[in-house]
Homo-oligomer: A and B are copies of this chain.
Amino acid sequence: MTVRQPLPPDLFEELCPSSLVPFRFGDKWSALVIRCLEDGPRRFSELRVPLPRVTPKVLTQTLRGLERSGLVSRTAHADPASGVEYALTPLGRSLLEPMQVVYGWVAEHWEELLDAQERYDAPPLRSPA
């Protein structure tokens, strides 16, 4: 079966208006790529779907970085049609939990973060006579 969990059309839009969130994981895309691999190995082209804003070059960069850190493995199958598969290593998988904690915190405090920014950006009103 080629039936896997479908990936959303734009994960960035959905998860990470990063102008708002005061932190990401290091670079712009690594965390998102990791999440895309949560449900199992994905091919390069599969990853491009939920990350339409990432150019192939940047996606490659990101994957290389994750590979270098031992979080993601890259396997080019003998069968050419299977393409190249990226998957989380055990190490990468072990990172899911800490990440979830952070995402949980963001979800929980989303409103507060928004409010704080609005207050900060608001025109400083002085003595409303």
Contacts and interface: CB of A to CB of B under 8 A. Distances in A.
Contacts of A115: 70
A94 B109 contact: yes
B70 A113 contact: yes
Contacts of A65: 22
A31 B47 CA distance: 29
Name the prevailing secondary structure of the A interface residues: helix
Given A91-B109, A95-B105, A98-B105, A117 B70 contact: yes
Interface string A13-25: 0000010011111
23 contacts: A18-B26, A21-B26, A22-B66, A22-B69, A23-B24, A23-B25, A23-B26, A23-B30, A68-B116, A68-B120, A69-B117, A70-B113, A70-B116, A70-B117, A70-B120, A91-B112, A91-B116, A94-B105, A94-B109, A95-B105, A97-B105, A98-B105, A101-B102
Which 4 A/B pairs are nearest by Cβ-Cβ distance?
A70-B116, A23-B25, A23-B26, A22-B69
Interface of A: 18, 21-27, 30-31, 65-71, 91, 94-95, 97-99, 101-102, 104-105, 109, 112-113, 115-117, 119-121
